[in-house]
């Protein structure tokens, strides 16, 4: 996990709060209904709500990046990355990029790309990467 930067924008905090608020409200409503049917002690009611809030606070460092408004999309972050061919691209196969296996096709046609060759991602459509061998990338 990457460390939390020194300053997280207030928009991230606001988004996180607003998106977690319905869950808290739902919990309170369920606890009120349970309290009507069963003898739920008042202290347990507040302890359960406090646990829910603590859960949200503890999870924030792990999920705050998902609430960042200006993050690159997955497509934008994959273009230009290097990968290693894991199954021959003839014309399609699998490439490992940043530790994950992706379905890939050779961009622009040409001969098959063998296992172990380094490729560069030119484009992404859906979950398919379009790649070219590193040598062809350097020629351009």
Domain spanning 74-139: CATH 3.40.50.300:
no
pLDDT tens digits for 106-130?
Answer: 988 788 899 999 999 998 888 899 9
Radius of gyration of the chain (CA): 24
CA 23 to chain centre: 21
Peptide bond into 91 cis (omega under 30): yes
Higher pLDDT, 71 or 77: 77
Kindly list the domain boundaries of the chain, sorted by start residue: 10-67, 74-139
Question: Do 107 and 81 form a contact (C-beta atoms < 8 A)?
Answer: no
pLDDT tens digits for 47-68?
Answer: 999 999 999 999 998 888 888 7
Neighbours of 16 (CB within 10 A): 19
Q: Give the global pTM.
A: 0.49
């Amino acid at each position: 996990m990457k460390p939390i930067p020194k300053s997280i924008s207030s928009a991230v905090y606001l988004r996180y709060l607003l998106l977690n608020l319905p869950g808290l409200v739902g919990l309170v409503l369920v606890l009120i209904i349970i309290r009507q049917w069963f003898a739920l002690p008042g202290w347990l009611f507040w302890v359960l709500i406090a646990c829910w809030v603590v859960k949200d606070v503890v999870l924030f460092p792990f999920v705050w990046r998902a609430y960042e408004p200006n993050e690159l999309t997955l497509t934008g972050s994959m273009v230009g990355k290097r990968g290693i061919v894991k199954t021959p691209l003839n014309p399609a196969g699998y490439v490992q990029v940043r530790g994950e296996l992706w379905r890939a096709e050779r961009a622009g046609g040409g001969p098959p790309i063998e296992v172990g060759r380094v490729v560069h991602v030119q484009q992404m459509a859906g979950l398919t990467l379009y790649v070219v061998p590193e040598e062809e990338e350097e020629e351009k």
